[in-house]
Structure 1
Amino acid sequence: MPTFIAIRRGLIGLLAALSFSHAASAATDGESVIAQFTDGLTGVDGRFEQRVWDADGQLKESSSGRVALAVPRQFRWEYQAPFPQLIVADGDHVFIHDPDLEQVTVRKQLGEEQQSPLLAVVDAEERQRQFVVTGAGARDGLQWVELRAKRDDAQIDRALLGFAGAQLVRMELQDSLGQKTEVAFSDWQRNPDFAAGTFRFIIPAGTDVVGDYDPKAEVIPLAD
C-alpha cells in the first residue's frame, strides 16, 4: 500500500472517531481538553489544508479540501486540490474514489478505523487498550493532546491534536516509517444541518471497483 494512502486512511479514521461520542471522563488533562470538543457534538463541517513530509523532512504532498463528520460514524473527506479524491463513510463501508483512475476502493469501515488514535479518544476502553494519552501543554496558542500507540504495528505511531476551546484546529501525525502529516482546519460549522445524502455514495458507471460493494450508496456534493 502506498504510504500516502495509508496516511490518508489513518487520518480519516482519526476524524471519524471524533464524531461518534459524547465527552470522555476528565481523568487526565488530555481527556478534559478532548471533552470540550466531543461534548454535545452531533456533526461538524469545515475545510482543511494538509501537508505531508517524508522521513528526511522533505515536503512531498500538499492538498486541501473539505471535511464533514456526523454522529455516529459517518464522514466525508474531499480532496479538491491539487488532485481530486473523495472518501465517504456511511457507517458500514468506506468508499475511496479516485476519479482520475476511474476506480473506487470499498472497505468495511470497522477495518479502516482499527488502531485509530481518535477512536480511542472518545472510547475509554479503546483508549486504555491501544494508546497512552497525555496532555501536551500549550503551543501556538493551542492546547495539545498526545496519543501514542501501544502496538508496534499501528499505522499511526503518534498523534498530536491541537484545540482552541471546543474547536479542533490542527492535527499532527507520525507514521511507522517516520513520515509526518500536518492538517490545519478552518471554517468549522458545529452541528450543521447536512443535506440528505451527504454521507452516501453511488459508484459511477464504468468505474472499476476494488473490494466490497454496497448498492445502497449514494453521494451528494457539498456546496462550496
Structure 2
Amino acid sequence: MCVLSFMLAATPVSIAAQGASSEQANNSDSATIGTDTATERLTRLLADLSTFRADVRQLITESSGGVLEESDILFMLKRPHGFYWETLSPFPELIVTNGDTLWNYQPDLLQLSIEDWNPDESELAAQLLGGETAAIAEEYDIEAVQVATNDWEFVLRPLDQASLYQRVVLYFVDDLLESILLINTNGQRTLWEFFNRQVNEPIADTTFNFTAPDDDFLDVIDNRADNTHETDQL
C-alpha cells in the first residue's frame, strides 16, 4: 500500500517540532515513562477507537525540507479490519479493505488492483491505526512523553537497524490522535494531520466494500488467490 508507507490549528512546522521535542531530555514540563508502560498507554488510547473518521492533510518533505507532495485525504476506520483511505487531491486514489479484500482504485489511470488482505503484512501506519500495538512492540522501542495533562507524544524507534524508518512519532491531544510523523532513514518525512475527527460514530459496513464502476476501459488487475470473482460482483 503505497499511501500507507494513516489540519488542525497547528502548522506542519509546529507538528514536526512537537515530534522532535521528545528527544529533548531537558524539557522539565515533560515526563517520560518506560517502554512497557508506554506500550500499555498507547494501547489504551488506540483501543478506545471502534470507529474513527477524519479529514487528513498529508505532507511529504525531503531531508532538506523541500515539499515533495501535499495531499488532502478522507480517512475512515472501523475495527477490526475496516480501512478507508481516499486521496481527494491532487491525484485521486482510493485504498479500501473490508478485512478480506483490498481494493486500490486509481480513476485517473483507469486502473483497479484487487488483492487478498493480510493484516499481518500491513504497513506500520495501518497497524498503528488498527491498534496492533502488541505486534508493533515486538519491532519497536516505544517511548511516551506526557506533554500536558491529557496530551501525549509517543516515539517509536525500530529495533531492526535495516528498518525503513528512523523513528515514528504519534501525538495525542486530549487523548485523541492529532498527528503521525514518519521519518525515513533517508531523511524523508511524511506527516499526517487529522482534523474534523469523529470518534465512535456509526459507519456502515458497506463503506469498506468497493463496487467497480461500469467502464469498459477500466483495467482490473486481480491478484487474489481465488481470482474467479466477477468484477461487477465486488
TM-score (norm: length of structure 1): 0.75
Structure 1 distance, partners of 2:47, 2:116, is 24
Structure 1 stretches lacking a partner, 5+ long? 12-25, 220-224
Note closer, same or farther for the CA distance 1:120–1:86 as it changes in structure 2 (3 Å cut).
Answer: closer
What's 2:16 paired with? none
| 2:43–2:133 Cα contact (<8 Å) kept | no
What's 1:145 paired with? 154
Once the two structures are TM-superposed, the CA of residue 28 in structure 1 deviates from its matched residue by 1.5
What's 2:52 paired with? 44
- State the Cα RMSD in Å: 3.0
Write out per-residue CA displacement over residues 80-120 of structure 1, whole angstroms, 9 at most, x where no aligned residue: 12221111111023212111011122333226844526636
In the alignment, is residue 163 of structure 1 matched against residue 158 of structure 2?
no
In the alignment, residue 74 of structure 2 is paired with which amino acid?
R
What's 2:111 paired with? 103
Note closer, same or farther for the CA distance 1:62–1:70 as it changes in structure 2 (3 Å cut).
Answer: same
In the alignment, is residue 128 of structure 1 matched against residue 137 of structure 2?
yes
What's 2:219 paired with? 208
Once the two structures are TM-superposed, the CA of residue 123 in structure 1 deviates from its matched residue by 4.0
Say which is worse superposed, 144-153 or 49-58, in terms of deviation: 144-153
In the alignment, residue 207 of structure 1 is paired with which amino acid?
L
Note closer, same or farther for the CA distance 1:76–1:28 as it changes in structure 2 (3 Å cut).
Answer: same
Which of 90, 97, 101 does residue 89 from structure 1 map onto?
Answer: 97
TM-score (norm: length of structure 2): 0.72
Percent identical pairs in the alignment equals 23
In the alignment, is residue 32 of structure 1 matched against residue 41 of structure 2?
yes
What's 2:22 paired with? none
| 1:197–1:218 Cα contact (<8 Å) kept | no
Once the two structures are TM-superposed, the CA of residue 202 in structure 1 deviates from its matched residue by 2.1
| 1:65–1:78 Cα contact (<8 Å) kept | yes
Find the residue that maps to 1:194 and give its secondary structure: coil
Which of 68, 72, 84 does residue 76 from structure 2 map onto?
Answer: 68
Note closer, same or farther for the CA distance 1:37–1:84 as it changes in structure 2 (3 Å cut).
Answer: same
In the alignment, residue 151 of structure 1 is paired with which amino acid?
D
Which of 4, 9, 19 does residue 9 from structure 1 map onto?
Answer: 4
Once the two structures are TM-superposed, the CA of residue 52 in structure 1 deviates from its matched residue by 0.4
In the alignment, residue 63 of structure 1 is paired with which amino acid?
S
Task: Decide which structure has the larger Cα Rg and report it.
Answer: 2
| 2:101–2:115 Cα contact (<8 Å) kept | yes
Write out per-residue CA displacement over residues 39-81 of structure 1, whole angstroms, 9 at most, x where no aligned residue: 3x31111111110001222101111121100010111111112
Structure 2 stretches lacking a partner, 5+ long? 7-34
Structure 2 distance, partners of 1:136, 1:83, is 36
Aligned residue-pair number: 198
In the alignment, residue 56 of structure 1 is paired with which amino acid?
S
| 1:51–1:182 Cα contact (<8 Å) kept | yes
In the alignment, residue 10 of structure 1 is paired with which amino acid?
S
Once the two structures are TM-superposed, the CA of residue 33 in structure 1 deviates from its matched residue by 4.4
Say which is worse superposed, 81-90 or 195-204, in terms of deviation: 195-204
Write out per-residue CA displacement over residues 138-157 of structure 1, whole angstroms, 9 at most, x where no aligned residue: 28x94210112223444444
